[in-house]
Amino acid sequence: MRAAPADERSLLNRGGGALIAVLFAAVVGFAVLPVGRLLLAAFLPGGVFGLSGFTEQIMSRAAQRAMFASFESATASSVLALGVGGILALVLAATDVRGRQLLTFLFVLSMLISPQVAAVAFLSLTGSASPILNTLGLAPEPGSVNPLLGRNGVVLVMGLHHAPLVLVVLIAGFKRIPRGLVDAARIDGASPWRIVTTILLPLLRPHLVGAALLAFVAGIGNFGIPAVLGLPVNYVTLPTLIYRRLSSFGPTIIGDIAALGVLVGAMAGLGVIASRMALRAPAVLIEDETRLEPFWRLGRSRPFVESVLWLVTLLVLVLPGLGLLAAALVPSHGMPLTASTITLEHFAEVLLRQQVTVRAFTNSLTFAGGSALFLACLSIPLAYALARRTPRIVGIVSGVIEMPYALPGIVLAVACILLFLRPLPLIGQSLYATPWIILFGYAARFLPVVLKPVLAAMGQVDPAQEEAAALDGAGSWRRLRDIVAPSLFPAAAAGALLAFLFAFGELTVSALLWSAGTETVGVILYSFEEAGLASQAAAIGLVTITVVAMTMIVLDTARSFLPEGILPWRV
């Protein structure tokens, strides 16, 4: 984003005190207060600084086992994600395979599906009760333990779920490699494999490290997959331990979950910082006007490579989706899927008949849609207030705003509970156990998602019209309303839809914040799976996938109105 000269900034900042106040309130309210309250509860219990309670909690046997399980599953799954996502990125960015855009769309769709939905999908595909395996006569003995339950299943599903994250990061790295380097190597007679090993991989090293660390961070904070696949066999990670502790309510529960929340946040925070340092390494990539294009002609091997790509797609998305569909279409869990057993009763049950599921879908649409709409409206003045600041100020403020998004959702939920458990000053009302605490959690978590495309669009706004309006005496709010906001609206709408994608069906935040009457789709799906209602859980999961896919299609259709690089599935 271009930094305005000092005199231009002075002119355009005229009357901008209210905008700065809005920016300050957003930063403090959505980032500083929740994180600060969590730290106070962990290190200043009762208002007195002390490390004994924090140390005692994190050194407990349960916490140590959960920390090891979190580190173990996050590390192993990040290695798997790096391998799968790295190979996919190389093939899609460097070779002449066909259908790369559709493949990328499907891979990213698998990532945007809620983790607990992915876990339920894989469970529906395997085990003795799998309708598909029963139909094919391949199901294990009745009563046998599903092979995906436990550590190995958590690692496998988490690794496949986070592989698209690695893909997106590496595709961005490929886009920064100048085409001239590859063209020069080809003129010198270098083979495609030599170009990959001697040019591309060294230049992509920061992105490889950053992608692996981001997959590790995602694994540390993942709640849905360890909850569905780990808790039934007592494989407990830190997020699921926090969930268990909060469910048990005791006299020391607040201090306990605050300490565990800080521990999870510290592990994730170190990973985020390390990944950003890797991605901001000294510039080994040279920017120029021509980005890298596919240069590896596969020739006769192209059909084979394409078959492997679609096989991976089948494994990551299609087969689990078919497992969900089969589980939702049979009358009861474990029956084979045949023409005579197909039924739509479970869809009718969860969408029309059961009050709790209908309410959950209504709540998720309301919470996700309401928070996305609020953030779209808020992001425009925030981006405008940041636009005329120096790059250093923008970097600091953006980093603070991104803290709740970088933290695992379960940690943010703990922070929200601590912040709103007591009645608020002046109004004397508590937000705990109300819909407002979920809305606040969503707004705090997904503000960076909405703000990023709006800031990118703000960087493309020509300040000439603003300067003319300022010279005519128009204040900052008038310029924002009449000149800036119309230009930023498409980016704000895109950011809102992206936030809706993440919020609808999520579980990590709402798992701790919901109460009777405020159940969300993610909470109900997990509750049904835990209660053994696998067919109804599968129906809920399929509806969630449909909503996510339709939202992605709407965004993709409107891509011509959006700043470049906003949609992660566009290669």
Distance of CA 283 to the CA centre of its chain: 27
> Which residue did the predictor score with more confidence, 571 or 97?
97
Residues 476 and 567 reside in one and the same domain:
yes
pLDDT tens digit string along 342-374?
888 889 988 988 899 999 999 999 999 999 999
Residues 16 and 124 reside in one and the same domain:
no
- In the chain the first and final C-alpha atoms are separated, in Å, by 23
Q: Which residues, other chains included, contact 331 with Cβ-Cβ below 8 Å and sequence gap of 6+? A: 341, 343, 345, 535
Per the structure block, which two tokens stand in for 34? Answer: 């929740």
Residues 294 and 358 reside in one and the same domain:
no
Gap between the Cα atoms of 379 and 424, Å rounded: 25
Residues 312 and 378 reside in one and the same domain:
no
Residues 243 and 361 reside in one and the same domain:
no
CB atoms within 10 A of CB 471: 10
> Do the domain assignments include residue 334?
no
Gap between the Cα atoms of 565 and 430, Å rounded: 41
What confidence category does residue 11 fall into, taking pLDDT thresholds of 50, 70 and 90? Answer: very low
Residues counted in the chain:
571
Nearest alpha-carbon partner for 214 in 164, 150, 146: 164
Per DSSP, the residues of 276-292 read: HHHHTSS--SPP-SSB-
- What's the one-letter identity of residue 514? W
Q: Report the pLDDT averaged over residues 203-207.
A: 86
Q: Give the residue carrying structure tokens 């496998």.
A: 156
> Do the domain assignments include residue 339?
no
pLDDT of residue 46: 65
Flag the least confident range among 25-39, 257-271, 334-348, 554-568: 554-568
> Do the domain assignments include residue 270?
yes
Residues 174 and 294 reside in one and the same domain:
yes
> Do the domain assignments include residue 338?
no
CATH number at residue 270: 1.10.3720.10
Task: Work out the mean pLDDT of the chain and round it to a whole number.
Answer: 84
pLDDT tens digit string along 438-495?
999 999 999 988 988 888 888 777 777 677 766 666 667 777 777 888 888 888 888 8
> Do the domain assignments include residue 155?
yes
Residues 40 and 116 reside in one and the same domain:
no
Query: Residue 389: is its pLDDT beyond 90?
Result: no
Q: Which of 274, 297, 327 is the last residue before a domain boundary?
A: 327
Nearest alpha-carbon partner for 69 in 203, 236, 266, 209: 236
pLDDT tens digit string along 161-170?
999 989 988 8
Residues 235 and 322 reside in one and the same domain:
yes
Q: Give the residue carrying structure tokens 């395979």.
A: 97
Residues 155 and 301 reside in one and the same domain:
yes
Query: Residue 120: is its pLDDT beyond 60?
Result: yes
Query: Residue 6: is its pLDDT beyond 50?
Result: no
pLDDT of residue 7: 47
In total, how many domains does the chain have? 2
Residues 477 and 369 reside in one and the same domain:
yes
pLDDT tens digit string along 529-555?
888 888 898 899 999 989 988 988 988
Q: Which residues, other chains included, contact 461 with Cβ-Cβ below 8 Å and sequence gap of 6+? A: 387, 484, 487, 488
Residues 108 and 34 reside in one and the same domain:
no
Give Dmax over CA atoms of the chain in angstroms.
80
Flag the least confident range among 46-60, 90-104, 135-149: 46-60
∠ CA(423), CA(429), CA(431), 5° rounding? 80
Gap between the Cα atoms of 272 and 270, Å rounded: 5
CB 18 within 8 A of CB 476: yes
Q: How far is CA 548 from CA 101, 106, 130, in A?
A: 18, 12, 25
Domain that holds residue 264: 87-327
Give me Rg for the CA atoms of the chain: 25
Query: Residue 229: is its pLDDT beyond 90?
Result: yes
> Do the domain assignments include residue 476?
yes
> Do the domain assignments include residue 78?
no
Residues 252 and 282 reside in one and the same domain:
yes
pLDDT of residue 359: 93
Q: Report the pLDDT averaged over residues 60-86.
A: 92
232, exposed or middle or buried, with CB in 10 Å at 0-12, 13-18, 19+?
middle
Q: Which of 276, 301, 327 is the last residue before a domain boundary?
A: 327
Gap between the Cα atoms of 270 and 275, Å rounded: 9
Per the structure block, which two tokens stand in for 131? Answer: 């309708």
Cα torsion at 42, 48, 53, 58 (round to 10°)?
30
- What's the one-letter identity of residue 145? V
pLDDT of residue 1: 46
Gap between the Cα atoms of 161 and 36, Å rounded: 31
CB 144 within 8 A of CB 128: yes
Q: How far is CA 261 from CA 68, 311, 414, 427, 517, in A?
A: 15, 39, 7, 28, 26
> Do the domain assignments include residue 55?
no
Q: Give the residue carrying structure tokens 């990532």.
A: 111
Q: Which residues, other chains included, contact 307 with Cβ-Cβ below 8 Å and sequence gap of 6+? A: none
